[in-house]
Amino acid sequence: MKQRPDRGEVAHYIPELANVDPQHFGIAVVGVDGTVATGGDFDLPFSIQSVSKVFTLTLALGKVGDRLWSRVGREPSGSAFNSIVQLEYEKGIPRNPFINPGAIAVTDLILSGHQPREALGEILRFIRFLADDPAIVIDEKVAASEQRTGFRNAALANYMKSFGVLDNAVEMTLGVYFHQCAIAMSCLQLAKAGLFLAMSGRNPITGHQVIQAERARRINAVMMTCGHYDGSGEFAYRVGLPGKSGVGGGILCIAPGKASIAVWAPGLDAAGNSHLGRVALEALTKRMGWSIF
């Protein structure tokens, strides 16, 4: 995989991510029996970006329950992750929790009544707990880079605020959102953090029942239908598993009852999803017979 020339483009709209070497490739597969298989740069931390949205959705559902779905829909958008058009038709309610406006609305629910620092601490602690790794940190340079240039997200957040969809000050919600996206994790840490979704809400390594089985099933359903934005259909067609991508080039992919897989290759396709990451997952699921279809 590391040798392949078809790599796509790194994310240029976040200056700090534009500097990442597109030659990186890493993969980690953690089985529900605790077995681990790794390859390439599996141990190198990268910016998880939108993969963080799986963890904030899980955390927010735990805090506010199904009330979350009055703020955010759960239909695929068929539009780019940072598109604004549907927000006007749909009165400021984002289509799903994985496009940028949806994730910003979810972060706003986590923030409610807290200081941004506390909310961010809660998100980071939750991810460390899931991965069973206290060493996971935020890359402040990436957060600052996005805070400086995130005009599109500011527009989305202000637009939602005008419809009363956000409770908190736009700058506060965005501050937390940019920092959650800037969390840095390796493929191995990410695959471990996602393992609860492969085992009906229970992390078989730590023994923690993180969420109920029904909720895990539903989060996987939203990952399947919306996890790759306007590339979700293509990902389902080729890989056949729930997955969530990030513009850092990471993908967390869940093989229910079998494994949690994380891949990282910084070059992106036109929809902003890791190109080689998807190619690798397609090859892996084909070889293992892991597609859910």
Binding residue positions for substrate = 50, 100, 146, 153, 177, 229, 247
**What are the DSSP E strand ranges found in the chain?**
26-31, 36-40, 46-47, 137-138, 183-185, 243-245, 250-255, 259-264
| Amino acid letter, 247 | V
**What are the DSSP E strand ranges found in 56-165?**
137-138
Q: Which residue has the tokens 């965005």?
A: 174
Q: How far is the CB of 165 from ligand DON (least distance, A)?
A: 17
Q: Of 35-43, 115-123, 241-249, 280-288, which segment contacts ligand DON by CB under 6 A?
A: 241-249
How far is residue 10's CA from residue 33's CA, in Å, rounded to a whole number?
34
What residues contact residue 241 under an 8 Å CB cut-off, 6+ apart?
Answer: 224, 253, 254, 255, 281, 285, 290, 291, 292
Whether 50 is catalytic is: yes
Cβ contact 106:97 at 8 Å: yes
Q: Which of 72, 177, 200, 232 is catalytic?
A: 177
| Amino acid letter, 232 | S
Q: Is 220 a binder of ligand DON (CB under 6 A)?
A: no
Q: Is 153 a binder of ligand DON (CB under 6 A)?
A: yes
Phi, psi (degrees; rounded to nearest 5) at 126: -65, -45
Of residues 53 and 71, the one with the C-beta less far from ligand DON: 53
How far is residue 48's CA from residue 244's CA, in Å, rounded to a whole number?
10
Q: Which of 47, 50, 200, 232 is catalytic?
A: 50
Give the residue, chosen from 82, 112, 149, 206, that forms a contact with ligand DON under the rule CB under 6 A: 82
How far is residue 76's CA from residue 227's CA, in Å, rounded to a whole number?
9
Please, how many CA atoms are within 13 Å of residue 226, restricted to the half-sphere of its CB?
Answer: 25
Of residues 59 and 181, the one with the C-beta less far from ligand DON: 181
Q: Is 49 a binder of ligand DON (CB under 6 A)?
A: yes
Query: Binding site: residue ranges?
Result: 50, 100, 146, 153, 177, 229, 247
How far is residue 124's CA from residue 53's CA, in Å, rounded to a whole number?
12
Q: Is 56 a binder of ligand DON (CB under 6 A)?
A: no
Give the residue, chosen from 25, 42, 81, 126, that forms a contact with ligand DON under the rule CB under 6 A: 81
Report DSSP state, residue 40: E
Q: Of 37-45, 62-70, 191-199, 242-250, which segment contacts ligand DON by CB under 6 A?
A: 242-250
Whether 91 is catalytic is: no
Q: Is 200 a binder of ligand DON (CB under 6 A)?
A: no
Of residues 240 and 272, the one with the C-beta less far from ligand DON: 272
Site string for ligand DON, 243-282 (x = CB under 6 A): --xxx------------------------xx---------
Q: Is 100 a binder of ligand DON (CB under 6 A)?
A: yes
How far is residue 54's CA from residue 253's CA, in Å, rounded to a whole number?
11
Touching ligand DON, residues 221-240 (CB under 6 A):
none
Whether 229 is catalytic is: yes
CA dist 254 → 58, 154, 285, 286 (Å):
15, 31, 11, 14
Using CB under 6 A, list all residues that contact ligand DON: 49-50, 81-82, 100, 146, 153, 181, 245-247, 272-273
- Which residues are identified as catalytic? 50, 53, 177, 229, 247
